Structure 1
């Protein structure tokens, strides 16, 4: 990887969800590639993130980093966070795809929170707004290969139920705000990015969950299905972060060519079976993938029985739910069989995006991270 420098005509940015997997990667790249940036303000619900960013400050970066704890549902907090901010990276959101997801929380954070942030951004004269959406915003009941943005409209029903639906409507809030007037007679320019699921540094939901599951089963992960019947597309988090920086650059340089749109974000990570993809990370952590494979249909049948049993128990103990290791929804189980993959051509043409990290670099950096977690 060659670290590039980006010239941006903005001196201050706000990152919501700044302590998340993506938020941290955006900060890392901003510090390395945008030396002219004066202020990075981070807004996150997790107070533990403060220590991480204080260590970054101790390294002597010229860019000022501010870390504030709060909730995007709190308008007063947003007003404070947006003071003096020129560009917003809105990465905060709730993804709950467990057996019994908290639908009301996802609507409150993903939609109403985005609405709050957009309205307050307009009042604060923010010029540029980049929203982190997801490919799940347009995944319905059927998959498809190498899908372009023009292939994906609002689904009749979402595969990921509430999560996908809330991300779709959050997109509409952001895109409909594009080119709205600001109090200073300028306009705000907006766009949305739709990454696939991502892996890499600071991941706590994807590969790390698989490693934790294997650890709970004595250091072994049972292979499910084959590459032919279970395929997922993943993207390295560093490349997702890079797409955000290039999106901001495009908004500042050629807004009429790129604003008001949503873009898929992928890289050169090979498509494949999730179990196979996790194998090198398992080996690095002293664990392994089984040599045998359990047919997907058998796993699906067992999961149906488990779901029936869980629902039966909850009739008598409504608040009960299975342990995290077993709290897997049917949506999660079925998704890899849909064989969804997406094209980044639109992002390449309109945002000037191409992956900053090769797959080999992405794998090496990710392996170092997961190895240290175990």
Structure 2
């Protein structure tokens, strides 16, 4: 069996997280030329090894992407790295230095490990936030990868993701230790949703805390959403594209998209949370703006004694109230991506998970 035909070893950084577990499932179900999936994560789920089969092994490796020795060891013998480990924070919960360490230093470690271990293929999980929405509130309507847009970042998370993506794409073509060229690409999901999505749980908890109300922005705002299973599927197809047609895929960035409807964040969440009897509370934009700035002021005043980090702040208000949707077929043209799951399947799978949330609100943690 030639090197191109042998079963491959995939390493997923952040492999035990929300997207990582969807990536694992898609690889096990859809990748025939697969011998092992390694899951590198700081917070591991040893039970995932039970998904191993006679032909496909699942290995869980506990470690931090900020430690180069760990990344180097975990990636030794791998053929493909899907770098999805990331620290997401737009609520000021995590110090900027920590965010930069994970998102930038971690990405640098992965690139260097590819070079030292002669790993030719690297797919990076980026974010729509490397583009926007910007804090100026400029809409991005049905945009594609080439749509002009004034990118303006203020929060550490989008700044770090933008820099990390640039590092990955600039590393394309770098010679690895055996002399071959490193092939990289970047995928930019819009708002990911699906089973085990912590932010969906946070919105649920926030509504419970507010007396079963969801506070939202005007219905005219729309955002692109994409199901985690389709994001995972696009990663697998992108990895295949790097191997089979690097002249097309390598060095490129792609928005992740599927058939999920364009809606405001609240309206989309209500598609799944309405069954709990939550009521929508529509506040005027000026009131929400004032609440966001009040929360920022309280966070600053309380910082010496308490880490006050509500979901609503100036940044999250601006993002939530600025329309950002994509319409593109670049992934279809470059590596034949079509959604693995249609909208009805995405909705049903997510709803089945949401239905496991506690019904006795007095027992909600």
> How many pairs are equivalent?
352
1:1-374 equivalence runs, <5 A: 11-47=8-44, 49-51=45-47, 53-57=48-52, 60=53, 62-99=55-92, 101-139=94-132, 140=134, 141=136, 142-152=138-148, 155=151, 157-158=152-153, 161-205=155-199, 207-218=200-211, 220-228=212-220, 230-284=221-275, 286-290=276-280, 292-314=281-303, 318-322=304-308, 326-374=310-358
Q: Is the 8 A contact 2:140 2:149 kept in 1?
A: no
Q: Structure 2 regions of 5+ residues with no counterpart?
A: 359-365
Cα deviation code 1:33-66 (max 9, x no counterpart): 113310101100103x112x03323xx4530010
Cα distance in structure 2, aligned partners of 1:280 and 1:349: 31
Cα distance in structure 2, aligned partners of 1:210 and 1:61: 40
What SS is found at the alignment partner of 2:320? helix
Quote how far apart the aligned CAs of 1:106 are. 1.3
Cα deviation code 1:234-265 (max 9, x no counterpart): 11111100100110111111100111011111
Cα distance in structure 1, aligned partners of 2:217 and 2:194: 24
Q: Is the 8 A contact 1:8 1:249 kept in 2?
A: no
Cα distance in structure 2, aligned partners of 1:100 and 1:367: 29
| Cα pair distance change 1:101/1:79, threshold 3 Å | closer
What SS is found at the alignment partner of 1:146? strand
Cα distance in structure 2, aligned partners of 1:288 and 1:198: 22
Tell me which moved more, 345-354 or 106-115.
Answer: 345-354
Q: Is the 8 A contact 1:303 1:330 kept in 2?
A: yes
| Cα pair distance change 1:328/1:225, threshold 3 Å | closer
Cα distance in structure 1, aligned partners of 2:6 and 2:99: 34
Cα distance in structure 1, aligned partners of 2:273 and 2:59: 36
Cα distance in structure 2, aligned partners of 1:131 and 1:273: 27
Cα distance in structure 2, aligned partners of 1:330 and 1:196: 20
TM-score by length of 1: 0.89
Quote how far apart the aligned CAs of 1:334 are. 1.4
Cα distance in structure 2, aligned partners of 1:8 and 1:23: 25
| Cα pair distance change 1:287/1:128, threshold 3 Å | same
What SS is found at the alignment partner of 2:259? coil
| Cα pair distance change 1:29/1:194, threshold 3 Å | same
Quote how far apart the aligned CAs of 1:154 are. 7.6
Cα distance in structure 2, aligned partners of 1:170 and 1:45: 19
Q: Find the counterpart in structure 1 of residue 362 from structure 2.
A: none
Cα distance in structure 2, aligned partners of 1:164 and 1:289: 32
| Cα pair distance change 1:152/1:238, threshold 3 Å | farther
| Cα pair distance change 1:368/1:261, threshold 3 Å | same
State the superposition RMSD in angstroms: 1.9
What SS is found at the alignment partner of 1:305? helix
Cα deviation code 1:166-205 (max 9, x no counterpart): 1111111111111221222222111000011110012112
Tell me which moved more, 330-339 or 361-370.
Answer: 330-339
Cα distance in structure 2, aligned partners of 1:54 and 1:295: 49
Quote how far apart the aligned CAs of 1:152 are. 4.7
Q: Structure 1 regions of 5+ residues with no counterpart?
A: 1-6
Cα distance in structure 1, aligned partners of 2:300 and 2:307: 9
TM-score by length of 2: 0.91
